[in-house]
């Protein structure tokens, strides 16, 4: 089906005491392999961006949500029942979803008694949430989860060993409280003990005196005993950062700078059947031939937490305007097919739209 061979590019970088601005692992270019690409949504003259996806337990139903606009606007929802090969039309949503001020995110959660629900967040002040008890067929309206706000809420949601859930988001001082002003970037956690129905007061998990840390992307270790979080560095003067917790998020390591190979925005990570990590993000390494494009990193969990470059990078699609792409969903189907979904300016001179790329690591 995919006859064209990937293009390999090697970026050589001199080593130094600080992590390199670029990388020396191979780059596999899939951007020209249009047979891998499935258009999820496109509308002439309309900006569509910032999607998040969730794969249901049947291994083939995927829901995607995204705003009509740049980081804000009415929330759109679509559904695929064949593992992302085809997509529904835009689905009905509650009326106040049109008031969303930020990038929506969608997550699966379980009650302590095993009852399943989907939850959807919309950020800024205050953070609001909607929920579905029937796998996304019907939804509640958006309602505040507390007297706090934030940006890209919630970038990551993870079940802890005690059955509670930890959700991560960030803020730069403007939205955490009503009437806030720009200040230091901080990454926060909030905990739910009732299966995502309600959430506690946020606590800071990461900040840095000079780096601007944001957009947390969570990865649990293969043995389940450690939680790692990849962090965007928004000043663009440093590489991405990493923090880890060995006690289910109660305490965290000091932020540590990562190699250029993992530097980018809005990391979304999933394990493949062979135990490797596939991490999709917007490439923002300071020395890279694919800056501003939609890329992925392949390596092991140990590569990531030990600060190694990993095995290789993949350019998934080429973005044709600035760095306006990324915020990807990543789902791994039972047969090992990776369905990763993002937005970007895929056609020069046209507004961005939503596309999925399908691949297996064995093909690379």
- Domain borders along the chain are 39-51+77-86+259-364, 92-252
Radius of gyration, CA atoms only, the chain: 19
Mean of pLDDT values over 20-30 = 97
Least reliable range by pLDDT among 69-73, 223-227, 310-314: 69-73
Mean of pLDDT values over 130-143 = 98
Statement: 92-252 belongs to CATH 2.120.10.10: yes
- Paired with 159 in beta bridges are 165
Contact 19, 259 (CB under 8 A): yes
Residue 3: pLDDT band (50, 70, 90) is very low
pLDDT of residue 357: 98
Residue 24 has pLDDT above 90, yes or no: yes
Residue 16: pLDDT band (50, 70, 90) is very low
Q: Is 180 exposed, middle or buried (0-12, 13-18, 19+ CB in 10 A)?
A: middle
**Looking at per-residue confidence, does 293 or 3 come out higher?**
293
| Alpha helices (runs of H) in the chain, residue ranges in sequence order | 301-305
Q: How far apart are CA 167 and CA 242, in angstroms?
A: 17
Residue 56 has pLDDT above 70, yes or no: yes
Tens digits of residue pLDDT in 300-355:
999 999 999 999 999 999 999 999 999 999 999 999 999 999 999 999 999 999 99
- Paired with 168 in beta bridges are 156, 189
SS3 (DSSP) at 333: coil
pLDDT of residue 17: 67
- Which residue from 253, 226, 255, 222 is spatially nearest to 238, judged by alpha carbons? 255
Residue 221: pLDDT band (50, 70, 90) is very high
pLDDT of residue 18: 81
Asked if residue 319 has a cis previous peptide bond (ω within 30° of 0), the answer is no
Residue 274 has pLDDT above 50, yes or no: yes
- Which residue from 185, 234, 237, 232 is spatially nearest to 208, judged by alpha carbons? 185
Residue 55: pLDDT band (50, 70, 90) is very high
Asked if residue 293 has a cis previous peptide bond (ω within 30° of 0), the answer is no
Residue 5 has pLDDT above 80, yes or no: no
pLDDT of residue 2: 47
């Amino acid at each position: 089906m995919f006859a064209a061979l990937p293009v390999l590019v090697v970026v050589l970088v001199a080593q130094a005491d600080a992590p390199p601005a670029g990388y020396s692992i191979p780059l596999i270019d899939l951007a020209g392999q249009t047979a891998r690409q499935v258009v999820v949504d496109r509308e002439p003259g309309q900006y569509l961006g910032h999607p998040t996806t969730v794969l249901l337990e049947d291994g083939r139903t995927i829901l995607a949500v995204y705003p009509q606009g740049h980081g804000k606007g009415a929330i759109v929802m679509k559904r695929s029942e064949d593992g992302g090969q085809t997509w529904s039309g835009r689905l009905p949503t509650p009326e106040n979803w049109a008031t969303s001020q930020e990038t929506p995110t969608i997550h699966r959660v379980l009650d302590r008694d095993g009852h399943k629900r989907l939850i959807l967040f919309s950020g800024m002040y205050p953070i609001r949430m909607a929920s579905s008890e029937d796998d996304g067929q019907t939804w509640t309206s958006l309602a505040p989860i507390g007297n706090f706000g934030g940006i890209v809420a919630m970038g990551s949601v993870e079940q802890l060993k005690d059955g509670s859930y930890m959700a991560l988001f960030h803020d730069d001082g403007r939205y955490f409280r009503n009437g806030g002003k720009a200040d230091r970037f901080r990454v926060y956690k909030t905990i739910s003990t009732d299966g995502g129905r309600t959430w506690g007061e946020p606590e800071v998990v990461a900040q840095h005196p000079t780096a601007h840390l944001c957009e947390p992307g969570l990865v649990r270790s293969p043995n389940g005993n450690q939680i790692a979080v990849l962090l965007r560095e928004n000043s663009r003067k440093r590489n991405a950062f990493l923090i880890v917790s060995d006690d289910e998020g109660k305490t965290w390591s000091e932020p540590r700078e990562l190699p250029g190979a993992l530097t980018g925005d809005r990391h979304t990570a999933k394990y493949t059947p062979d135990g490797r990590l596939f991490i999709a993000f917007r490439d923002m390494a300071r020395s890279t031939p694919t800056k501003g494009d939609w890329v992925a990193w392949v390596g092991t969990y140990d590569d990531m937490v030990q600060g190694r470059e990993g095995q290789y990078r993949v350019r998934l699609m080429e973005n044709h305007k600035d760095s306006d792409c990324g915020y990807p969903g990543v789902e791994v189907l039972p047969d090992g097919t990776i369905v990763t979904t993002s937005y970007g300016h895929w056609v020069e001179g046209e507004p961005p739209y939503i596309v999925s790329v399908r691949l297996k690591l064995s093909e690379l």
